């Protein structure tokens, strides 16, 4: 099917350079824009260029596991067999087991670790707490980056609004562990602090009436059990934050050209820029081809004229088909113009809309070819 070469795309060499030199690539963007697939495509492209790559996905997309030739993606890196010169591994984030292993690492002894792992409050925050998944993603990313097994770690982040938490998660957890409630319950009970404790106790009893006293009890037990471990967590959070800011880490913004997706992408680009982080590449998936020019008016007129003329109805539909596609292409390009300006020097790649989803390595490689010059 003939498609016009996407205009407004930057020199493909920029993307190639990024894939050749980055040590960490973080793919961010809202849900439903092909982020997981893009992460896999980048991983495969880098392995194709001789790098040893780990792709970390958060979304348990079965199709992606299939596409990568894996029965399922587990929480430890699994090697994918292929003919590329480099190496490709994939793993899926399991927030709870990552958190558990952190607790084991920083606990002073096994008894402390066991006490925390059994605490109901901990079981809650480690499983479904909003932000934990994001924190653990950054944690896993750090661990893989430090390992000698990989040259490049590609991360597929949770959908946009949570992906913002991704940036703040290490800091938030360390703040949480340094909370004044924690301080109050673990501080020695004498002098001024005793007064603080009494006041805190009164508030806690009140709060217990609302949220249930066992929630408070479990929380206090958790904080007491955590004593001495928060420093390890805090140092780790700082190290992860430094990794995000490191020039070897590249943020790749993934979007679809629809208005709502672009609005989300702009929101995200703004947030990254607030944090002093540069978007290194913008990947626009599912661009519709304009079939000549992105202007539907001539086809609209032709369709109107033909449907009034005898025998013109079938040809009118051909013009309608092209008008619809040109209208889409026109709107998509206009949606993207401000985003493109906003990300400034980023490499920009448009990936054409495919009639079917990508299901296999061949499909991923094909998309990869539109990302880079091989």
Partner 1 sequence: MAGLRGENVDSTQFFTASRLIIVAGKGGVGKTTAGAALAIAAARSGLSVLLVELEGTTGLSRLLGCEPLGYDPVEVPLDAETTGSLTARMITPDQALLDYLADHGLKRVGRAMVSSGILEIVSTATPGIRDLLVLGKIRQLETERAADLIILDAPAAGHAITFLRSPTGIAEAATSGALHTQATEALAMLGDPSRARVMLVTLPEETPINELVDTAYSLEEDVGVMLGPVVVNGTWPPLPGLDVELERAASEAGVTLSDDEADSLRAAGAYRAERTAMQQSQLERLGDELPLATLNLDFVFTNELETADLSRLADRLLDEIDALDAVLSD
| Residues 352-371 close enough to bind partner 1 by CB under 8 A | 355-357
Cα–Cα distance for residue pair 142/136, rounded to 1 Å: 10
Q: Give the one residue of 241, 335, 339, 351 binding partner 1; rule: CB under 8 A.
A: 335
Query: Considering only 49-57, 232-240, 258-266, 341-349, which stretch makes contact with partner 1 by CB under 8 A?
Result: 258-266
Query: Considering only 73-81, 89-97, 251-259, 336-344, which stretch makes contact with partner 1 by CB under 8 A?
Result: 251-259
In the complex, the smallest distance separating the C-beta of residue 147 from partner 1, rounded to whole angstroms, is: 29
In the complex, the smallest distance separating the C-beta of residue 73 from partner 1, rounded to whole angstroms, is: 15
Q: Nearest 5°: phi and psi at 169?
A: -55, -45
Q: Give whichever of 17 and 271 is closer to partner 1, judged by the CB atom.
A: 271
Cα–Cα distance for residue pair 343/281, rounded to 1 Å: 8
Q: Is 66 in the site for partner 1 (CB under 8 A)?
A: no
Q: Nearest 5°: phi and psi at 122?
A: -65, -45
Tell the residue number behind the tokens 């929630």, with chain if given: 215
Asked if residue 137 lies in contact with residue 157, where contact means CB atoms within 8 angstroms, the answer is yes
**Beta bridge partners of residue 79, listed in sequence order:** 89
Q: Is 120 in the site for partner 1 (CB under 8 A)?
A: yes
Q: Is 63 in the site for partner 1 (CB under 8 A)?
A: yes
Q: Give whichever of 50 and 212 is closer to partner 1, judged by the CB atom.
A: 212
In the complex, the smallest distance separating the C-beta of residue 16 from partner 1, rounded to whole angstroms, is: 28
In the complex, the smallest distance separating the C-beta of residue 123 from partner 1, rounded to whole angstroms, is: 9
Closest among 245, 243, 261 to 253, alpha carbons compared: 261
In the complex, the smallest distance separating the C-beta of residue 84 from partner 1, rounded to whole angstroms, is: 25
Number of neighbours of residue 115 by Cβ within 10 angstroms: 18
Binding residues for partner 1 restricted to 29-58, rule: CB under 8 A: 30-33
In the complex, the smallest distance separating the C-beta of residue 170 from partner 1, rounded to whole angstroms, is: 14
Q: Give whichever of 101 and 124 is closer to partner 1, judged by the CB atom.
A: 124
Quick one: tokens of 297? 């008016």
Binding residues for partner 1 restricted to 270-289, rule: CB under 8 A: 289
Cα–Cα distance for residue pair 46/26, rounded to 1 Å: 14
Binding residues for partner 1 restricted to 141-180, rule: CB under 8 A: 159-161, 176, 179-180
Binding residues for partner 1 restricted to 286-315, rule: CB under 8 A: 289, 291-292, 306, 309, 311-315
Query: Considering only 44-52, 67-75, 128-136, 360-368, which stretch makes contact with partner 1 by CB under 8 A?
Result: 128-136
Task: Give the single-character DSSP code of 279.
Answer: E
Cα–Cα distance for residue pair 293/329, rounded to 1 Å: 9
**SS3 for 24?**
strand
Asked if residue 182 lies in contact with residue 283, where contact means CB atoms within 8 angstroms, the answer is no
Contacts for 188 with CB less than 8 Å, ≥ 6 apart: none
Binding residues for partner 1 restricted to 191-250, rule: CB under 8 A: 200, 203-204, 206-216, 219, 222
């Amino acid at each position: 099917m003939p498609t016009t070469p996407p205009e407004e795309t930057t020199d493909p060499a920029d993307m190639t350079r990024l894939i050749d030199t980055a040590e960490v690539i973080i793919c961010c963007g809202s849900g439903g824009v092909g982020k997981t697939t893009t992460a896999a495509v980048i991983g495969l492209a880098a392995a194709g260029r001789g790098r040893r790559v780990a792709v970390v996905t958060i979304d348990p997309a079965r199709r992606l596991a299939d596409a990568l030739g894996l029965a399922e993606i587990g929480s430890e890196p699994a090697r994918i067999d292929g003919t590329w010169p480099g190496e490709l591994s994939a793993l899926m984030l399991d927030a709870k087991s990552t958190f558990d292993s952190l607790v084991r690492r920083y606990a002073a002894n096994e008894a402390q670790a066991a006490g925390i792992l059994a605490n109901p409050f901990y079981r809650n925050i480690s499983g479904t707490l909003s932000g934990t998944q994001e924190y653990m993603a950054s944690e896993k990313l750090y661990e893989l980056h430090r390992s000698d097994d990989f040259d490049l770690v590609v991360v597929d982040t949770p959908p946009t609004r949570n992906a913002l938490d991704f940036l703040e998660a290490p800091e938030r957890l360390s703040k949480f562990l340094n909370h004044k409630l924690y301080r109050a319950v673990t501080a020695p009970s004498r002098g001024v602090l005793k007064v603080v404790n009494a006041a805190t106790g009164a508030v806690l009893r009140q709060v217990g009436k609302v949220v249930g006293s066992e929630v408070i009890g479990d929380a206090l037990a958790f904080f007491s059990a955590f004593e001495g471990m928060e420093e390890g967590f805090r140092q780790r959070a700082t190290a992860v934050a430094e990794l995000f800011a490191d020039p070897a880490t590249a943020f790749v913004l993934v979007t679809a050209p629809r208005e709502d997706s672009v609005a989300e992408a702009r929101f995200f680009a703004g947030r990254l820029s607030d944090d002093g982080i540069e978007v290194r590449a913008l990947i626009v998936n599912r661009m519709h081809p304009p079939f000549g020019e992105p202007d539907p008016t001539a086809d609209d007129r032709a369709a109107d004229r033909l449907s009034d003329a005898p025998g013109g109805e079938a040809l009118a539909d051909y013009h309608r088909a092209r008008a619809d596609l040109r209208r889409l292409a026109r709107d998509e390009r206009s949606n993207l113009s401000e985003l493109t300006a906003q990300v400034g020097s980023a490499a920009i790649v448009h990936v054409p809309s495919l009639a079917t989803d990508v299901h296999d390595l061949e499909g991923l490689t094909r998309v990869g070819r539109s990302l880079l010059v091989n």
